[in-house]
């Protein structure tokens, strides 16, 4: 059961009133239950702080009793800012949320972590880089934090789950409105082994202005923030600025200078010398973790070796592989699928293959 102080905070947090007013109200008393009493009696200092929002709280006093029900029903854990589980590092950001609504493993909130963020629109390059970093960092034991959006966020979550790593998704709305809806399945998977976090009460919508605010929590929860691909207009630039403001380590993956999809990263690298990372180990050095070399050797047939040699470090279209290998098309087709199943190569958009 929830204790009375937490419940008061939860109740106040459920109203859409300005942050400053909530903050003022909650800082009035150490024992929060007196707030309710004062509202009931229309005490002067409460009315003064709340101003025109006072009536809303006064009229909804009766909702206090049931405010926790919906969370109990859906197994949502409530961590208020006075709760010992509330992550210390989150208290150092601007306007730390009063309540964290969590589904999943709340121990992850205080684990060693890395935020991996980027554009919703990814190029093949962005996809490869994100997969590579997320996989390596998750394997090294870091918790991967991201925002469940399309593109880089989803790839970061998914790659982490693929190697049984731990991941946190920070949402921009209440749990009743998982956004984007396509990632609902992904959210369910994360809830099982990782953690879903939001500062919004159960039924709140994903308003556009929530997302920059959501980014401050990603930056706040992470020990470092990695941006794998972001254009200059991308919302990821908010996360970058928060990371700088909160003194987090910022890691940027450079991109092709002709690609607008990497414009944001490249420009930030230009301005912040030294933030550039080229491999997961560059990040892990700061965490004092040594990446273990994979000693798993896969037996390759001669045909498979041939294909691996042809592909090299490039991303090659099917017909080029066909011409260079001189194998029968039907044989090549099944060979490429077999190699995908073995995990030696990957198929990417445009009928291309890479290692």
Partner 1 sequence: MLSVVTSFGLIGISGYLVKVEIDINHGLPSYDVVGLADVAIKESKQRVRSAIKNSGLAFPINKITVNLAPADTKKEGSLYDLPIAVALLSATGEVPTDSVDGFAFIGELSLNGSVRKVNGILPILICAHNLGINKLFIPYANRVEASYIEGLEVYAVKNLKELVAHFKNEKLIEPLKHKTYEEAKQESVDTNDFSLVKGQYSAKRALEIAAAGGHNIMMIGPPGSGKTMLARSFPTILPDMSFEEALEVTKIHSIAGTLDDKVGIITKRPFRAPHHTATTVALTGGGAKAKPGEISLAHNGVLFLDEMPEYSRQTLETLRQPLEDGVITVSRLQQTVEYPANFTLIASMNPCPCGNYGSKTAECKCTPNQIHKYLNKLSGPLMDRIDLHVEVDSITYSELSEDIQEESSASIKERVDRARQIQLDRFKGTKIYNNAKMTNAMVKKYCKLDNRSIDLLGQAFSDLNLSARAYNRILKVSRTIADLEGSKEILPSHIMEAIGYRSLDNKYWV
Task: Enumerate the β-bridge partners of residue 116.
Answer: 226
Q: Which is nearer to partner 1, 33 or 342 (CB)?
A: 342
Of residues 141 and 317, the one with the C-beta less far from partner 1: 317
Residues contacting 3, CB < 8 A, separation 6+: none
Task: Note whether 349 binds partner 1 by CB under 8 A.
Answer: yes
Report the distance separating Cα 221 and Cα 88, nearest Å: 9
- Per-residue mark of binding to partner 1, 89-128 (x: CB under 8 A): -------------------------------xx-xx----
- Least gap, CB of 352 to partner 1 (angstroms): 7
- Which of helix, strand or coil describes residue 257? coil
Q: How is residue 273 written in tokens?
A: 């010398």
Q: Are 239 and 136 in contact (CB under 8 A)?
A: no
> Cα separation of 150 and 125, whole Å?
16
List Cβ<8 Å contacts ≥24 apart for 324-330: 327/303
Does position 300 bind partner 1 by CB under 8 A?
A: no
Indicate the pairing of strand 352-354 with strand 346-348.
antiparallel
Q: Identify the residue among 132, 139, 150, 189 touching partner 1 (CB under 8 A).
A: 150
Comparing CB distances to partner 1, the nearer of 249 and 315 is: 315
- Judged by CB under 8 A, the stretch of 24-32, 36-44, 232-240, 254-262 that binds partner 1 is 254-262
Nearest distance in Å: CB 333, partner 1: 4
Residue 208 in the binding site for partner 1 (CB under 8 A): no
Question: Which residue, 291 or 320, is less far from partner 1 as judged by CB?
Answer: 320
Determine which residue in the list 3, 85, 205, 260 makes contact with partner 1, applying CB under 8 A: 260
Query: Token pair of 301, please?
Result: 């047939």
Q: Is 14 left (phi over 0), alpha (psi -120 to 50) or beta?
A: alpha
Six-digit token string for 87:
């992550």
Is residue 63 involved in binding partner 1 (CB under 8 A)? no
Of 259, 291, 308, 344, the one binding partner 1 (CB under 8 A) is 259
What is the closest distance, in whole angstroms, from the C-beta atom of residue 14 to partner 1 in the complex? 30
DSSP per-residue letters across 62-109: GGGGGTTHHHHHTT-EEEETTSTTS-GGGGGSSS--SEEEEEE-GGGG
Q: Is 272 in the site for partner 1 (CB under 8 A)?
A: no
Q: What residues numbered 317-346 form the site for partner 1, per CB under 8 A?
A: 317-320, 322-323, 329-331, 333-338, 340-341, 343
Nearest approach, Cβ of 193 to partner 1 (angstroms)? Answer: 17
Judging by beta carbons within 10 Å of its beta carbon (0-12, 13-18, 19+), is residue 1 exposed, middle or buried? exposed
Under the rule (CB under 8 A), what is the footprint of partner 1?
Answer: 120-121, 123-124, 150-151, 180, 182, 259-261, 315, 317-320, 322-323, 329-331, 333-338, 340-341, 343, 347-352
């Amino acid at each position: 059961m929830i204790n009375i102080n937490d419940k008061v905070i939860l109740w106040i947090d459920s109203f859409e009133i300005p942050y400053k007013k909530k903050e003022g109200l909650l800082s009035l008393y150490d024992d929060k239950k007196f707030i309710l009493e004062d509202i009931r009696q229309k005490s002067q200092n409460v009315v003064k702080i709340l101003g025109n929002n006072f009536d809303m709280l006064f009229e909804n006093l009766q909702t206090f009793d049931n405010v926790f029900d919906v969370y109990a029903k859906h197994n949502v854990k409530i961590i208020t800012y006075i709760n010992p589980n509330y992550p210390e590092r989150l208290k150092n950001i601007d306007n730390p949320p009063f309540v964290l609504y969590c589904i999943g493993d709340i121990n992850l909130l205080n684990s060693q972590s890395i935020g991996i963020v980027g554009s919703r629109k990814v190029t093949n390059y962005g996809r490869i880089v994100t997969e590579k970093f997320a996989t390596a960092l998750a394997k090294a034991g870091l918790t991967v934090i991201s925002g469940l959006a399309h593109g880089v966020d989803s790839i970061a979550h998914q790659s982490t789950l693929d190697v049984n790593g731990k991941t946190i998704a920070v949402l921009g709305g209440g749990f009743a409105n998982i956004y984007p809806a396509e990632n609902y399945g992904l959210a369910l998977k994360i809830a099982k082994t990782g953690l879903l976090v939001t500062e919004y009460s159960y039924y709140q919508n994903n308003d556009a202005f929530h997302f920059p605010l959501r980014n401050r929590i990603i930056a706040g929860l992470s020990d470092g923030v990695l941006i794998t691909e972001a254009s200059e207009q991308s919302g990821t630039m908010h996360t970058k600025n928060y990371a700088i403001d909160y003194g987090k380590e910022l890691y940027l993956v450079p991109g092709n200078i002709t690609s607008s999809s990497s414009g944001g990263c490249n420009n930030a690298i230009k301005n912040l010398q030294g933030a550039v990372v080229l491999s997961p180990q560059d990040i892990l050095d700061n965490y004092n973790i040594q990446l273990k070399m994979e000693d798993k050797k896969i037996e390759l047939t001669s045909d498979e070796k041939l294909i691996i040699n042809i592909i090299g470090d490039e991303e090659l279209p099917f017909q080029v592989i066909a011409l260079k290998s001189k194998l029968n098309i039907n044989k090549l087709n099944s060979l490429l699928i077999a190699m995908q199943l073995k995990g030696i190569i990957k198929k990417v958009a445009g009928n291309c293959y890479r290692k």
